[in-house]
Amino acid sequence: MNVALLFRRAALLLVILSIAAFAASERSGWVLVIGGLIAVAAARITDGPRKRHLPAWVIRFGVFIGIGWGGVQFMARPSPEEAPRVVAYVVLGALLLKLLDRKTPSDWRQVMALSIVLVVSSALSSGDFLVGVLVIGYAVATIVTTMLYHLHAGAERAADDRRAAALRPGALPPMEAPHGAAPMRHLRRLAGAGVILGILLSGMVFVMFPRESVLGGQSGTKQSGFRPDISLWSAGRVSLSSRVAMTVTLLDPRGAAGPLTLPLRLRGAVLDVYFANDGKWRGSSIHSGDRSYQTGPTQGFQWFAAEARTERSNVWTQVVEMRSLASEHVFTSWLPLAVASDEQRSFVVDPRTAEITESTAGIAGRPRTYSIRMQGYPSGVLAHAVAGGSPPSTADFPVPEMRVIAERILADAALVDLPDAAAIKADPQQKWVRQRRIAAMFQEYLSGPRFAYTTDLSAFRRIDGKDPIVLFLERYRFGHCEYFASAMVALCRSVGIEARVVTGYMATEYDTVSDRYVIRESGAHAWAEVRTSEWQWGTFDPSPIAELLAIQQANRTWMDSFRWVLDPIEFAWNSQFASFDSRAQADLLDAANRWFLMGPAGALWLGLVGIVLAIAATAVWVVGGRARRVARELGARNERLATRIALGRDVSFYLDALDALTRAGFEKPRSRTPRMHVQALQRKNPQAGAAFSAVVERFYQIRYGGLHPSRAERVAADALIPPLRAALARG
């Protein structure tokens, strides 16, 4: 077994896995290609026949340059989400430089440490399925590589000691490291035990520390997928992932599937609270009027109001099948009237916003499929019945400067025949006419040539004391859908118009073969909803749709047609692992409590199970102890476990004889053979020596003569022990 070669290969695999994890978190194939090629080339150059390497000062200078670059990048975008990404790039550069250095055990430790930091940074930046698989594979490889490192470092130290001793007069020449199957078998056993222990400890850590305690429920700077909130200061390049988030089958009132002429918008989360200090939109925490509905395989549609059950005109059905996305938010195109699911689930409806969430995820995961009955243009009576809570007062905005901007835009637009306060007082319905016209004007203003749609926000720099929406409107005039929607809601609310931000998806890709919409992660979108009547809200989307669709279409590749293979696995990962939060942890503990606390009968059953497990553990310990003693006393370490157990049963009389000798003060040294110990014992106690000689002869027949004793022969061998004990007692 060439430990040095095995270790170098394992360390290179560890480095490549860490680079692959970072490339997956960045969704960049070039990072993997370039980084992997440099790593392999560095290993070949430094470990090849000529063993070339870079000077130490070059490596240090390169590391200092990387640290300086990382500092500049972080100061340009000082956000917690950006920190893991910057650290990962700096560590990747240092790791590739270190691979071109000398390879002493100390250098290998630094390489392994840098790769660990790179993997941790990648895991903090993304919760994608591929990243998770690579991190798990890296953890398993780390255990094996660490063991090989200690063997390699020990062999290097021993070789150095032998070389130093060989230079001294009379010293022994250097010895070669042991080779053969036995050391490799021992290493495999040790590595297997380490991997099992590592998996168990990782599982305990995963259950004890939910995901949001580390990431705050976010997934770093990747904004291509749906998010239930908006952070406008998360500057950076939006990653346009083409993974399929879900598919939607849209059935018209007659039950026929087909596409719409306009893009299909799927409402996910409604955000009506703006935090000016952080530049964040979030949903209101007031949920006093929420209503819960239970669904199941045989329960059918659960209607949100009696009026909705009797409604027959213009009722559409939307069937949603999740792919890679696992979310507690239920996505619906229009006003939801009822929900159904083939899974046993509990859905909650917020009457303020008609927002639907799933509340029974926990260890059961997120819902994979559900159906929604909905209506596109509901009457005020129906909207009131479904969204029965009092409409919130959202006609204000916490940034005073926004009102000045909104009034200036209104003045420049010079809307004709806009209802004023007197007209609204005479006819209250004129209020909604005014709000619709002003909202339409703001939408046209933002979607015009004054503003540019882009997914690259690297030039959108934070300025102290300035709100990001103000900067978008007055200074930068570029951004993605979150900025356009935020700007429209801010303008509307600054002039007394109730408005809110909605995040979800925009579906434009329709598969005519399966008659359903294919919604990709890059279709995540944000728009505005403006109150257009007492109980109705209208959709306004100020984002330039043509530019948005062009960017999404340019990101499509031929690999997209093969994504369906990983979709079910990725959904299970996102549903069961990536979304494991404090609620899932509480549900897991609650399930454990319900399972264990089952009354007196359950306690009795658990007690019996505990007794059986204790007996089984004791038996395993006894048998394992006998097998370990056989390996130690009889030199059977290389034998299989079953062989050692059988040998321990056949020569148990010999082990009993050794115990008797030890208690009498005649313990057999490890370096002395049994027959040599017989001779030594005969000089001190001839009778005991003769009795032990009979035991040793029978032992040799079994251990080295190929004898497999029967039950009667084992009983006869056990009969040799009492004479030995008697002779020892007399001696």
Band of residue 216 on the pLDDT scale cut at 50, 70, 90: very low
- pLDDT above 60 for 604: yes
- Supply the pTM of this predicted model: 0.63
Under DSSP, the state recorded for 634 is S
With bands split at pLDDT 50, 70 and 90, how would you rate the model's confidence at 218? very low
Q: Kindly tell me if the per-residue pLDDT of 545 is higher than 70.
A: yes
> Residues 258-268: what's their mean pLDDT?
88
Q: pLDDT tier at 567 (50, 70, 90 boundaries)?
A: low
Q: Cite the beta strand spans of 376-509 per DSSP E.
A: 452-453, 478-479, 499-507
For residue 491, the model assigns a pLDDT of 94
Better-scored residue on pLDDT, 423 or 184: 423
pLDDT at site 383:
84
Query: Which of residues 598 and 197 earns the better pLDDT score?
Result: 197
Tell me the pairing of strands 452-453 and 329-330: unpaired
317: part of which helix (H) or strand (E)?
strand 315-322
Q: What's the rounded Cα separation, in Å, for the pair 727 and 45?
A: 71
Segment (H or E) for 614: helix 599-633
Q: Could you tell me what percent of the chain has a pLDDT over 70?
A: 79
Per-residue confidence (pLDDT) for residue 643, from 0 to 100: 78
Main-chain phi, psi angles of 628, to 5 degrees: -65, -35
Contact yes or no for 97/54 (Cβ under 8 A): yes
Note the pLDDT tens digit of each residue in 313-370.
889 999 998 877 778 889 999 999 999 998 888 899 988 888 998 876 555 566 788 9
As a whole number of angstroms, the longest Cα–Cα distance in the chain is: 127
Distances (CA, A) of 529 to 250, 266, 380, 476: 22, 13, 16, 24
Residue 104 burial (CB count, 10 A) = 11
Check residue 585 and give its pLDDT.
Answer: 63
**Residue 372's pLDDT is what?**
93
Of 585, 584, 569, 581, give the one whose Cα is nearest residue 129.
569
Q: Structural domain boundaries of the chain? A: 3-208, 225-242+269-284+393-564, 287-391+566-597, 603-730
**Per-residue model confidence as pLDDT tens digits over 371-420:** 999 988 888 888 888 876 655 556 788 899 999 999 999 999 888 888 88
Burial class of residue 660 (count of CB atoms within 10 Å of its CB; 0-12, 13-18, 19+): buried
| Encoded tokens for 251 | 């059935």
Percentage of the residues of the chain whose pLDDT score is greater than 90:
15
pLDDT in tens, 88-139: 889 899 888 888 888 788 888 888 889 998 988 887 777 667 787 888 888 8
What whole-number distance in Å separates Cα of residue 462 and Cα of residue 193? 51
Q: How confident is the model at residue 233 (pLDDT cuts 50, 70, 90)?
A: confident
Q: Which of 285, 288, 262, 287 is nearest to 272 (CA)?
A: 285
More confident position, 220 or 180 = 180
pLDDT score, position 274? 92
Q: Rounded mean pLDDT of the chain?
A: 80
Residue that the structure tokens 């500092």 belong to: 71
**pLDDT tier, 51 (very low <50, low <70, confident <90, very high otherwise):** confident
Q: What average pLDDT score do residues 660-677 get?
A: 85
Structure tokens at 452: 């540019």
The answer, yes or no, to whether residue 559 has pLDDT greater than 60, is no
Spatial distance between the Cα atoms of 198 and 193, rounded to a whole number of angstroms: 8
Q: How confident is the model at residue 579 (pLDDT cuts 50, 70, 90)?
A: low
DSSP 173: P
Task: With H, G, I as helix, E, B as strand and everything else as coil, classify residue 543.
Answer: coil
DSSP 8-state code for residue 456: B
- Between residues 94 and 227, which one has the greater pLDDT? 94
pLDDT at 337: 92
Range in 63-67, 515-519, 585-589, 719-723 with the lowest mean pLDDT: 585-589
**How many angstroms separate the CA atoms of 341 and 273, rounded?**
31
Q: What is the mean pLDDT of residues 306-314?
A: 82
Q: What is the mean pLDDT of the segment spanning 629-648? A: 74
718 pLDDT more than 90? no
- Look at residue 657 and tell me whether its pLDDT is greater than 80: yes
Exposed (0-12), middle (13-18) or buried (19+): which is 188, by Cβ within 10 Å? exposed
Residue 709: which pLDDT band, with cuts at 50, 70 and 90? confident
Mean pLDDT of 165-170: 59
